[in-house]
Amino acid sequence: MITLRCVVERITYQNPENGYTVLRAAVRNYKELVTVVGCIPCAAPGEGMTVTGVWTNHPSYGPQFAAESVERRMPETEEEIVSYLSSGILKGIGPATAQRLADRFGADTLAVIEEEPERLQTVKGITARRAMELSAAFRELTGLKRVMEFLARNELPVPLAMQLYRAYGADALPRLREDPYLLTGDAYGVDFSTMDEIALSMGFDGDSPCRVEAALTYELSHNLNNGHVFLPRDKLLSAAAQLISADTDALETALDGLLTRGVIVQEQVANVQACYLLRLYQAETRVARRLLSLRDAPRQTGKNVDRIITEMERQQGIAYAPHQRQAVTLAARSGVLLLTGGPGTGKTTSTRGIVTLLERMGLTVLLLAPTGRAAKRMSELCSREAQTIHRCLGMTFNELTGEVTFKKNEKDLLEADAVIVDEMSMVDLPLMDALLAALKPGCRLVMVGDPDQLPSVGPGNVLGDILRSGSVASVTLTEVFRQAEQSAIIRNAHAVNRGQSPDLKNKQNDFFFLCRRSPDRLVQTVVDLCRTRLPENMGIPAGQIQVLSPTRKGETGTVSLNRALQAALNPPSPGKRQKAWGDMVFRVGDRVMQTKNNYDVIWQKDSGEAGSGIFNGDVGTVEDIDLSGELVTIRFDDRVSVYTADLLGQLDMAYAMTVHKAQGSEYRAVVLVSAPAAPSLLVRGVLYTAITRARELLVMVGDDVIPGQMAENDRRTRRYSGLRRRLKQGGESHGHE
């Protein structure tokens, strides 16, 4: 990081909504003005700053200094004060008034405006009322800057200042000093332990009400990452007590207060007092209500369905199996249909039949999937365009609230008569809520998925809950077709699903096991497979081979594997540019993966279409690194993005990835690591999901005992969710406290 001391000369651009600013500044020992960019709200000429960041090279505007932290200094000299006030920072003060104020009060001008506004009346043109208005406006302005100083001093993200300012105005800093834990809320997302350390250093007691309440809401938010929609009251109290070492009475009192104010909602679910964050409670009740409403809505049932299906069979030269025909028929006659089944059972054929039938009925059909990779695969299999749910709904990110919003909603519905969603196991509760909100009354909804796959990363168990509720029409495909049965991949996947160990004898055409109990030998074998053995012996290029491991950690985890694979598949060479970042080195040609949602990254397609947003799990290739090393160009399929150096921390190598990250994707060849890992990862669902990622070839490398142990271990981490119950009870809420 580089630090520059500068004085603002002029403002080139400023976004009043998020504080993003482009300014020109005079920097000591620099002959020319420097362009500084970053979150610097209310910056004005004459203001002094100390900015810390990195140099970047904008493709259109040239060298820029990207500020990551900013320490601000109010103008001190008369010249700086005149420049500052003349900039329009305070409405109603132009150059002439600014000069008169400086002439009258000198270096004390700003202090007088803030603390002694009555003295301003001695300046020509300023009335008593105007003096008070100027003082109030200036105090609000300095309030924002002091919030920024508070954040910078405590090493917190400075852009939070704009969110706080928008929410609380001039009261932002007093509110923050009164309750620093408000930054741990969903809108701001500061980690509880970070904020707790700051608050305790400010003198807050260990049992202060704001600390205890924040611990409770934090535990509910944190457990969304574990898939839970709610927590039982006793588990919530226990987790919060462990987090902050508070006594039970204080926690009970705080929880009752949060319930009274509606921050948390408590409801009886089965035999549990379920505690929800309000937004999750509302999402769950809406999903249940809207699903049942779609199910029950009047619609055209399709009188000639059987005849059309028979005609489709004749034209396509196929004959649907009984369950496949049932699924296609029900899609025409039901408002909501759930189609499930494992590999080789004909889900794709059934889905294509459903699409064709609905289109022949004159309906407008949308094909959707939760991820870009899943949407691409759906497009290829159905020979029609498929989109991600996020893109279809017009996802945007509200920088002021920190929330994801969608342009398509109950006020602007999708123009579709039928929507088919693939890979439903990956759809979490908030995304399902957003999708259902955008469907017009009477729209058909077909959900396709495999309930034995790993559940969604986000909260809820939507597919499983809908299936087990029995509240909507469903068809489960169980027959493995003869052609599919010839695949050892598919046979072994079904064996694992039944709790049996996969067949590890190498008498199969597409499934092989190589026993390597030593971690060193295991890693070396994986490298050899990707570098030479599969490309030379099987004709599968390294770029079409995906290494999977249950875990990131350890000698056989993805971190270690990626280092070895990068060294073998993309070693350094003269003329090949690279960029060091932390423990990683990014090199042109590297396969990389985005590890968090970033709604601001700009991308452009080869067609010229542009947009923003690169999301957790998106995989791309490093296409170029500029000479300065500060700009890295990455291609994500047909989208190209330019990453500044500060964004590289959001990337990971993707030669190897965890099974969880591979959900919704399919690869020509998979090399699967079979080695000891955390017990929670050595379970049937992980092995089943890994095997079903391979399309043509799967090679398992490692300990021959592990696959059997994983197949036998059907332990599924229970997810606390009330959707199944709500659907069974007709979407109603009961026992709301």
Cα separation values, 442 from 283, 351, 413, 415, 437, Å: 21, 20, 12, 12, 13
- Tell me: the pLDDT tens digits for 559-579? 999 999 999 999 999 989 998
SS3 labels along 509-564: CCEEEEECCCHHHHHHHHHHHHHHHHHHHCCCCHHHEEEEECCCCCCCCHHHHHHH
pLDDT the model gives residue 61:
78
Range in 79-83, 659-663, 678-682 with the lowest mean pLDDT: 79-83
Average pLDDT over residues 435-460: 95
pLDDT the model gives residue 716:
76
pLDDT the model gives residue 630:
73
Only one residue has tokens 């249909």, namely 337
508, 487 in Cβ contact below 8 A? no
240-249: Cβ within 8 A, 24+ apart: 240/212, 240/215, 240/216, 243/192, 243/215, 243/218, 243/219, 244/196, 244/206, 244/211, 244/212, 244/215, 245/206, 246/206, 246/207, 246/211, 246/212, 246/215, 247/207
Average pLDDT over residues 323-327: 95
69, 53 in Cβ contact below 8 A? yes
pLDDT the model gives residue 224:
92
Amino acid at 214: A
Average pLDDT over residues 479-484: 80
pLDDT the model gives residue 257:
96
pLDDT the model gives residue 731:
62
* Reported confidence tier of residue 488, pLDDT bands at 50, 70, 90: very high
Q: How far apart are CA 446 and CA 464, in angstroms?
A: 15
Centroid of chain to Cα 490: 31
pLDDT the model gives residue 402:
63
Average pLDDT over residues 318-347: 94
CA-CA-CA-CA torsion sign (158, 160, 165, 170): negative
Q: Coil, strand or helix: which one is 717? A: coil
* Statement: residue 146 has pLDDT above 60: yes
Highest-confidence range of 15-19, 142-146, 250-254, by mean pLDDT? 250-254
Burial label for 112, CB within 10 Å (0-12, 13-18, 19+), is buried
- Report which DSSP code applies to 146: H
Q: Coil, strand or helix: which one is 169? A: helix
* Reported confidence tier of residue 183, pLDDT bands at 50, 70, 90: very high
* Statement: residue 685 has pLDDT above 60: yes
Cα separation values, 349 from 335, 383, 535, Å: 21, 12, 31
Burial label for 549, CB within 10 Å (0-12, 13-18, 19+), is buried
Longest dimension (CA), the chain: 98
Cα separation values, 84 from 9, 77, 348, 680, Å: 9, 10, 65, 59
Q: What is the mean pLDDT of the chain?
A: 90
Average pLDDT over residues 65-80: 84
* Statement: residue 657 has pLDDT above 70: yes
- Tell me: the pLDDT tens digits for 547-559? 999 999 999 999 9
* Statement: residue 60 has pLDDT above 80: no
- Tell me: the pLDDT tens digits for 163-181? 887 788 778 888 999 999 9
pLDDT the model gives residue 19:
77
Average pLDDT over residues 501-529: 93
pLDDT the model gives residue 437:
97
Count the helix, strand and coil residues of the chain and give each as a percent rounded to the nearest 5: 40, 25, 35
pLDDT the model gives residue 457:
87
CA-CA-CA-CA torsion sign (154, 157, 162, 164): negative
Average pLDDT over residues 189-210: 92
> Which residues, in sequence order, are bridge partners of residue 644?
631
Q: How far apart are CA 343 and CA 636, in angstroms?
A: 27
Question: In the chain, pLDDT over 70 holds for what percent of residues?
Answer: 98
| Segments of 260-335 assigned E as strands | 264-269, 272-277
Sheet holding 336-341, edge to edge: 387-388, 365-369, 418-421, 444-449, 336-341, 473-477
Residues 6 or more apart from 131 whose CB is under 8 A from it? 117, 118, 120, 121
* Reported confidence tier of residue 145, pLDDT bands at 50, 70, 90: confident
Q: How far apart are CA 448 and CA 341, in angstroms?
A: 8
> Which residues, in sequence order, are bridge partners of residue 604?
610, 640
Highest-confidence range of 179-188, 426-435, 572-581, by mean pLDDT? 426-435
Only one residue has tokens 């994983």, namely 710
pLDDT the model gives residue 621:
96
Helix spans in 342-425 (H): 347-360, 372-382, 389-393
pLDDT the model gives residue 733:
59
* Statement: residue 516 has pLDDT above 60: yes
302-305: Cβ within 8 A, 24+ apart: 302/332, 302/333, 302/357, 302/361, 305/329, 305/332, 305/333, 305/357
* Statement: residue 659 has pLDDT above 80: yes
Highest-confidence range of 156-165, 214-223, 502-511, by mean pLDDT? 214-223
Burial label for 339, CB within 10 Å (0-12, 13-18, 19+), is buried
Pick the more confident residue, 367 or 1.
Answer: 367
422, 448 in Cβ contact below 8 A? yes
pLDDT the model gives residue 350:
95
625, 586 in Cβ contact below 8 A? yes
Q: How far apart are CA 262 and CA 265, in angstroms?
A: 6
* Reported confidence tier of residue 342, pLDDT bands at 50, 70, 90: very high
* Statement: residue 454 has pLDDT above 80: yes
Question: In the chain, pLDDT over 90 holds for what percent of residues?
Answer: 65
pLDDT the model gives residue 736:
54
Average pLDDT over residues 692-720: 93
Range in 345-354, 507-516, 627-636 with the lowest mean pLDDT: 627-636
- Tell me: the pLDDT tens digits for 94-116? 889 999 999 999 999 999 998 99
Pick the more confident residue, 401 or 123.
Answer: 123
Range in 88-102, 230-244, 257-271, 281-295 with the lowest mean pLDDT: 88-102
> Which residues, in sequence order, are bridge partners of residue 276?
265
* Reported confidence tier of residue 613, pLDDT bands at 50, 70, 90: confident
In this structure, the dihedral spanned by the alpha carbons of residues 488, 492, 493 and 497, taken in order and rounded to 10 degrees, is 160
* Statement: residue 599 has pLDDT above 80: no
> Which helix (H) or strand (E) covers residue 336, if one does?
strand 336-341
Q: Which two tokens stand for residue 299?
A: 């619609």
Residues 6 or more apart from 177 whose CB is under 8 A from it? 202
Q: How far apart are CA 202 and CA 444, in angstroms?
A: 56
pLDDT the model gives residue 401:
60
Average pLDDT over residues 461-479: 95
Q: Which two tokens stand for residue 514?
A: 């190589």
pLDDT the model gives residue 424:
96
Average pLDDT over residues 591-620: 87
Average pLDDT over residues 476-496: 89
224, 458 in Cβ contact below 8 A? yes
